[in-house]
Amino acid sequence: MNISEKKKNFKYSDNFFHNHVTFSESYFEFDKVPTERDSIEIAILGRSNVGKSTLINNLCMNKNLAFTSKRPGCTVSINFYKINQKIEKASKAEIFLVDLPGYGYARKGGQDIKKISNLINKYLIKRKQLIKIYLLIDSRVGLQPTDAEFINFFHQNNLEYQIVLTKIDKAKKVDLDNLDILLKSFFQGLDLAGNEILKVSAKEKINLDLLRNTMMEDFISSCKDD
């Protein structure tokens, strides 16, 4: 389904998220996360200061849902946000957005960085309820080595993912164009030259309706696959 076709479903997908998402729980250790829960999970991942918390708040139309800070590196736990909506054919399954810790914050100590990396990697590899990862990339700084490492990690482990460029309202057009060229070149090496990249701005609410709809379709598609 192309972007123009997706726009027809925006009213439904907006309602899917609006006033229907609540904070559920946080885990600082992967072993504490319930393993047998009947759930469907989409994870949100990105570098520190990529704007994950702000995006979650605007995506769910609740400015107080996720804690935001001007200081990067604040999210050091796995945070679960429950979408209190039911999907046909999966009435018993719980639906979650999962906010993973930010990576790449240089001021954190080596032990903290290692702990966060292990937490992220364990969730991505071992979490059977995970259906897709939304990797956020700051459009102002472009594709960083750690971002590329995670994309390669996804491929090595056969993980489904979606690239989302954030803060496009703050990026210059020439920088966005150059980033497009870089990403297309990068994805050609992974046989994903046609991969559709979402470009959003949480602050200006650019393409958030498209992002909501894409996530909703992922949840629904996962239920159909079952």
Max CA distance (Å), the chain: 48
- Bridge partners of 42? 97, 132
DSSP of the chain: --HHHHGGGHHHHHHHHTT-EEEEEEESSGGGS-SS--EEEEEEEEBTTS-HHHHHHHHTT-TTSS---SSS----SEEEEEE---BTTBTT-EEEEEEPPPB--TTS-HHHHHHHHHHHHHHHHH-TTEEEEEEEEETTT---HHHHHHHHHHHHTT--EEEEEE-GGGS-HHHHHHHHHHHHHHHHTTT-TTPPPEE-BTTTTBSHHHHHHHHHHHHHHHHHH-
Nearest to 134 by CA among 175, 162, 173: 162
Q: How many residues does the chain have?
A: 226
How far apart CA 124 and CA 153 sit, in angstroms, is 10
Render pLDDT for 26-51 as a digit per residue (tens, 0 to 9): 999 999 999 988 899 999 999 988 98
How far apart CA 177 and CA 180 sit, in angstroms, is 5
Neighbours of 90 (CB within 10 A): 18
Q: What is the pLDDT of residue 162?
A: 93
Residue with tokens 């993973």: 100
Check if CATH label 3.40.50.300 holds for domain 3-225: yes
Domain range summary for the chain, segments of one domain joined by +? 3-225
Neighbours of 25 (CB within 10 A): 14
- Bridge partners of 23? 81
Residue with tokens 């966005």: 176
Low-confidence ranges of the chain (pLDDT < 70): 1-8, 68-75, 88-91, 105-110, 189, 191-195, 224-226
How far apart CA 194 and CA 64 sit, in angstroms, is 36
Q: What is the pLDDT of residue 106?
A: 47
